Each structure stands twice: as structure tokens, then as C-alpha cells.
């Protein structure tokens, strides 16, 4: 503290005041400037009190402050340096004072503090030990000596020195609080409580200081995790709150600060209670209002979670996200992540295997534990949505598997999409078997099966809509192509009595104008053909196409070299509606299996092209 104001003026006393009047003035001003609420003002009060309550330092002040301008100048510079934590400058300034007057105790005390703050503990101890030799009845000297011992972790000597300081001056708050903090550091909570209880009522002139000790006891109980002890002290505080404005304002402020500390310690029930009490004393404090609302919400949440944790209607893993949210700060970062990942995997297993109970559990969470549900609402919404999809898939699958209007190969394909526990090797094996089955299905059966799935089993259809739609389109296109070719052959050759029969040999040609695929009889001469699509006439001769044809006159339907996808040889029968479908479907499915959108289109195009050329 820079000596700008007169010490007597700071304490509002005259120069003739005795020790009792000095103590009474200090206690009265402490109401207005308690240490935690007004630290700077309290610091002024404390330093003025320390100088004037000690007869020797008071005599020095009375003597030198009146005519020692040089000492006063160095004291101001030293005090400012201490406030700015420029401890080396402070040391220099106080040493200059001691050069002027070696036994000036206030200067030696300030020098000792500056040395201690600069961690020059041995030199600091020298100053305080010399001061105690000069005046063994000064509580401040013992208290500062105790501070140095504590910094050196010599707790026993620190305790002894502070107890001596307390014996000399039992109403000096910083001594009492420092000693209780020492007991907290040593985890001697019972000792701290006993000491603070003994301090209550010591100040006969003013009982306001008792609030400081009560609140310090709450701090001790917080460190000791003693909830019952905290509640008992709060009850005691509420009994003695005075009507005096300054005291009530201090208690309201202290209650708010305490409520926040309890909030940080996750003791939400007491934080709610104390912040509510603070609002009853001072309802204009918005920060305390917010703290009260937050404490109330979290107290309700933790109480509700206790009920949730015992609710057997809800699947255990679904409680996990809420638990890890509420108790996150009890885990290390990596540990929390690992636990959350395990929890999500457990939930996923239930979503896949027991989605009915997942849906029921989330319905209960949302309706009966809404506060907790809202903490992780987005996650629960995603889990619920996927579970609902799985339920729809399951319901529709149970109907589809017995639906005789859908060909078995398509049902197998849906089953493969629904399966999630297959190895890649097994999946490939089943896929090849399904392809083989589809290769032998009639195109009309494939078309009608896909149409039925789309209309009657929409959620199964949505598993791979692009795949199924392209597969259906490819089958429709092949079916239309077969019909058009049969019509063309009949119209073109009826007049020559060369209508296509089951035993006729055919070749495939393409319209020179539009590229339409046509099946026409093999003929050694040149024939005029009219394209049914663009109606353009053109001529052809079988030898121009260099086709190798084989006549299977005794075969019903078609026989194609399916094992050679892309062969230039094919014997075909014009009455077959299945020609080319197997090749289209195989390539389309392979493309779609690789990629549901682009892959299918490429595969279907290749399949149709191959079937057209064969």
C-alpha cells in the first residue's frame, strides 16, 4: 500500500485512539470491506491496522511520517512495486529505507515480504526472525514468518507460527483464514473445523466476523466432501443473518459465491438452495438468477437419472449417452472416448437385433425422462429412426418371404441386402448363386416381381431403388426388343412363305439408319428389310455379316453360350422371350453390386450391348 492516506484517517480514528478503539474501528470497517468482496480496500485496512495496533511500529509511524519525506518516498515506490509484482525493485526501495534507519520495523517487514514473494526464503526468514526479536508481541511478524515456512513446505513450523499469531491477535481475519487453509492443505479437515468453531464469538465488539468463519467452514466441508456438514453450517448461517443492509449484502454476495463453488463441485441440490436464498436477500442479481436456474435444472436432471438408472424397462446401453454426458468430467479424455465408443457399439447391436425394444425404450425416455432425453436428443432421434427402418424392413421381409408372386431369385437378392453379418467370401458366394438363379428367370417375372416390391414393400425397395429400377428397365427393354423382332420377321417374309418356325436359323443385324436390332432368317441371297422403328428399307446378305450359325432344330426355347459373355456365336429361336435377358441381368447386377448408381448403368449398358451382338 502506498502511504498516500493517513493511517488514522483510513481507520477513521484520531491519533489518541487506544488498542480497543483501533480494533473496534477495524471490525466495523470490515463489514463494509470484507476481504473477498473488496480486496483492495481490505488491504488498506489491514496494513493500517497492522501498523497502528503494534506500539513500536505505531511509534515509528508517528515519528517518521511527520518529517521523513525521503522515507515516505521510498515507501511509496516500494509499495507500488509490490502491487505490480516487481519484487526486486521493492527489495531495493526498502533496503534504501533501512540504510536511513536500520531498525525501522515496518520497512524490515515489507522487505521480508518482498524477499519471500521473490522466493528468497532464507533471506526472508532472517528479516522476520529479527523483527520478532525486536517485538515478540506482533502478530503480523509471526504470520509472515508462518507464510515463509508454508512456502518451504515446513507445515509444522508454519502451524506453530500462525497459532502464535492467533494467540496475540485472535480477531485478525487473515491469520485465521491462513491457518484454516493450512489445515485444508494438510487434509486435516476436522482440525480446521474445530479451529474455526473456536473463533466464532471471539470478537465481542462485532459478530459480523462470524460470517467469515462460517463460510470458511463451508469451504472446509466442500474439500472434505461432507454434504451433511455443509447443510448444517448453512442452517446456522441462515439463523443469524442480521437486518443490517451491509451485512445482508455481504451474506447475499457470499451465498452467491458459495453457490457457484458448490455448482462447480456438482453439489447441485445445495447450490440450488443457497442461490435461492441469495435471491431472497438480493433479487436484483442476474448472475445469481442464472446460477439458480442452472442449479435447479441439473439437480432435477441428476435426481431423474437416479430413477432412470434403476428403470429396467429401458435397455441398459441406451442409458449410457446420458450417463457419460452428466459425469463426463469424472473421466480422462481418452477414457471417456473409449467408453463412449463401446457404448455406441452396444447400442448398434441392439438396433440390429432388438430394434423393437430399442423403440420402446426411447419412447419411454422421451415421455418420462424428457429433460435427460433432450441432452442427447439428436443421437436418440437417429437411433430411433434407424430402429424404425429396421422394423419396417423386418415387417415387410416377413411378408415378402412368403409372397409367391415374387420370384425366388429376387427375394434372395433382397435377403442378401438385408444381411449384415456375412463375410465377404460368403457374400460373394451367395451373390453368384443369386445371379445364376436370376439368369434363368423369365423377363416378365422379373418385371412383375420388381413392380410388386415397389408397390407392396416400399422400404425394401428403398434398400437399392436405383439397382432395382435399372434392372427392371433392362428387362423391359429386352422384352420389347424380342417382340419387335418377331413382328418384323413375320411381316417381312410371309410373302415368300419363309415365316419363322421353331427350327429356322436366324442371324442378328442392325438398322443402318437407327441401329435397331433385328432378327432375320439366314439366306444366301440379298433380301430387302424394312426397319419397324424408323421404317427405312435396306438390303442385307447373310454372307456380308460373316456370322457362324448353328442349327439346333430339335431344341425348344434358346440355347446360348452363357459361359462366354461376349462370344460372337449364338443359335437363337424367334419364339423365345428370354433371349439375352440372362446376359443383361448378370452384367447389370455386377455393375450395380459395385456401385448402386453409376455402376448399374454401366453394367446394364454393357449387358444389353453384349446380348445385342450375340
pLDDT tens, position by position, 421-453:
788 888 888 888 887 887 788 888 899 999 999
Measured CA to CA, the distance from residue 308 to residue 243 in angstroms comes to 44
Q: What is the mean pLDDT of residues 528-543?
A: 67
| pLDDT at residue 195 is higher than 60 | yes
Pick the CATH number of 7-243 from 1.25.40.10, 2.60.120.650, 2.130.10.10, 1.10.1660.10: 1.25.40.10
- DSSP-derived secondary structure for 495-550: TTT----TT--EEEEE-TTT--EEEEE--SSEEEEE-TTT--EEEEEGGGGT----
Average confidence score pLDDT of the chain: 79
Residue with cell 446380348: 611
Measured CA to CA, the distance from residue 483 to residue 555 in angstroms comes to 20
Residue with cell 457362324: 548
Look at residue 127 in the predicted model and tell me its pLDDT: 95
Q: What percent of the chain has pLDDT over 90?
A: 39
What nine digits make up the cell of 7?
Answer: 493511517
Measured CA to CA, the distance from residue 303 to residue 297 in angstroms comes to 10
More confident residue, 72 or 194: 194
Neighbours of 190 (CB within 10 A): 12
Cα within 13 Å of Cα(409), Cβ side: 23
Q: Which pTM does this prediction carry?
A: 0.52
What nine digits make up the cell of 30?
Answer: 470490515
Question: In Å, what is the CA distance from 220 to each residue of 128, 160, 199, 280, 377?
Answer: 30, 20, 15, 25, 39
What nine digits make up the cell of 114?
Answer: 518482498
Q: What is the mean pLDDT of residues 349-355?
A: 92
Q: What is the mean pLDDT of residues 392-415?
A: 92
How many whole angstroms from its chain centre is CA 374? 14
> How many residues belong to the chain?
614
Query: pLDDT for 467-483, tens place per residue?
Result: 898 888 888 877 776 65
Measured CA to CA, the distance from residue 35 to residue 47 in angstroms comes to 13
Burial class (CB in 10 A: 0-12, 13-18, 19+), 497: exposed
Which pLDDT band holds residue 457 (cuts at 50, 70, 90)?
very high
The domain ranges of the chain are 7-243, 311-399, 408-613
Largest CA distance in the chain: 146
Amino acid at each position: 500500500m502506498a502511504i498516500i492516506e493517513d493511517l488514522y484517517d483510513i481507520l477513521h480514528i484520531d491519533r489518541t485512539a487506544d488498542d480497543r478503539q483501533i480494533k473496534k474501528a477495524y471490525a466495523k470497517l470490515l463489514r463494509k470491506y470484507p476481504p473477498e468482496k473488496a480486496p483492495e480496500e481490505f488491504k488498506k485496512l489491514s496494513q493500517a491496522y497492522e501498523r497502528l495496533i503494534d506500539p513500536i511500529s505505531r511509534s515509528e509511524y508517528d515519528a517518521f511520517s511527520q518529517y521523513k519525506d525521503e522515507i515516505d518516498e521510498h515507501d511509496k515506490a516500494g509499495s507500488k512495486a509490490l502491487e505490480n509484482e516487481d519484487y526486486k525493485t521493492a527489495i531495493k526501495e526498502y533496503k534504501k529505507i533501512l540504510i536511513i534507519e536500520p531498525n525501522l520495523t515496518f520497512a524490515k517487514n515489507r522487505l521480508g515480504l518482498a524477499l519471500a514473494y521473490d522466493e528468497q526464503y532464507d533471506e526472508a526468514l532472517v528479516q522476520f526472525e529479527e523483527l520478532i526479536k525486536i517485538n515478540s508481541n506482533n502478530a503480523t511478524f509471526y504470520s509472515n514468518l508462518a507464510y515463509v515456512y508454508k512456502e518451504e513446505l515446513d507445515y509444522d513450523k508454519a502451524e506453530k507460527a500462525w497459532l502464535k499469531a492467533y494467540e496475540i491477535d485472535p480477531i485478525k481475519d487473515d491469520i485465521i483464514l491462513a491457518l484454516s487453509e493450512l489445515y485444508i492443505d494438510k487434509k486435516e479437515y476436522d482440525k480446521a473445523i474445530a479451529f474455526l468453531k473456536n473463533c466464532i464469538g471471539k470478537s465481542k465488539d462485532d459478530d459480523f466476523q462470524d460470517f467469515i468463519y462460517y463460510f470458511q467452514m463451508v469451504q472446509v466441508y466442500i474439500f472434505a466432501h461432507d454434504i451433511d456438514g455443509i447443510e448444517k453450517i448453512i442452517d446456522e448461517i441462515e439463523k443469524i443473518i442480521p437486518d443490517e443492509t451491509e451485512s445482508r449484502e455481504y451474506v447475499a454476495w457470499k451465498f452467491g459465491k458459495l453457490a457457484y463453488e458448490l455448482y462447480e463441485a456438482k453439489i447441485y441440490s445445495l447450490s440450488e438452495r443457497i442461490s435461492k436464498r441469495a435471491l431472497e436477500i438480493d433479487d436484483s442479481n442476474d448472475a445469481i438468477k442464472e446460477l439458480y436456474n442452472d442449479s435447479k435444472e441439473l439437480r432435477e436432471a441428476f435426481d431423474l437419472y437416479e430413477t432412470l438408472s434403476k428403470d429396467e424397462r429401458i435397455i441398459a446401453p441406451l442409458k449410457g449417452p446420458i450417463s457419460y454426458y452428466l459425469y463426463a468430467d469424472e473421466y480422462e479424455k481418452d477414457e471417456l472416448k473409449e467408453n463412449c465408443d463401446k457404448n455406441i457399439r452396444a447400442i448398434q447391436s441392439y438396433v440390429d437385433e432388438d430394434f423393437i425394444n430399442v423403440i420402446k425404450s426411447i419412447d419411454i425416455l422421451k415421455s418420462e425422462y424428457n429433460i435427460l432425453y433432450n441432452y442427447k436428443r439428436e443421437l436418440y432421434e437417429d437411433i430411433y429412426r434407424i430402429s424404425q427402418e429396421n422394423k419396417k424392413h423386418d415387417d415387410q421381409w416377413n411378408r415378402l418371404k412368403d409372397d409367391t408372386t415374387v420370384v425366388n431369385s429376387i427375394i434372395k437378392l433382397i435377403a442378401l441386402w438385408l444381411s449384415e453379418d456375412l463375410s465377404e467370401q460368403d457374400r460373394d458366394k451367395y451373390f453368384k448363386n443369386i445371379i445364376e438363379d436370376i439368369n434363368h428367370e423369365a423377363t416378365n417375372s422379373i418385371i412383375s416381381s420388381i413392380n410388386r416390391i415397389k408397390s407392396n414393400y416400399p422400404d425394401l425397395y428403398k434398400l437399392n431403388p436405383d439397382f432395382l429400377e435399372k434392372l427392371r428397365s433392362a428387362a423391359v427393354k429386352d422384352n420389347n426388343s424380342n417382340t419387335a423382332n418377331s413382328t418384323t420377321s413375320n411381316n417381312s417374309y410371309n410373302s415368300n412363305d419363309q415365316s419363322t418356325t421353331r427350327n429356322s436359323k436366324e442371324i442378328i443385324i442392325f438398322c443402318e439408319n437407327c441401329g435397331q436390332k433385328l432378327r432375320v432368317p439366314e439366306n444366301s441371297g440379298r433380301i430387302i428389310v424394312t426397319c419397324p422403328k424408323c421404317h427405312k428399307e435396306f438390303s442385307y446378305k447373310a454372307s456380308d455379316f460373316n456370322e457362324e450359325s448353328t442349327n439346333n432344330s430339335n431344341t425348344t426355347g434358346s440355347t446360348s453360350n452363357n459361359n462366354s459373355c461376349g462370344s460372337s456365336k449364338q443359335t437363337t429361336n424367334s419364339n423365345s422371350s428370354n433371349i439375352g435377358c440372362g446376359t443383361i441381368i448378370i452384367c447389370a447386377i455386377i455393375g450395380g453390386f459395385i456401385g448402386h448408381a453409376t455402376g448399374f448403368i454401366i453394367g446394364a449398358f454393357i449387358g444389353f450391348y453384349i446380348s445385342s451382338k450375340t
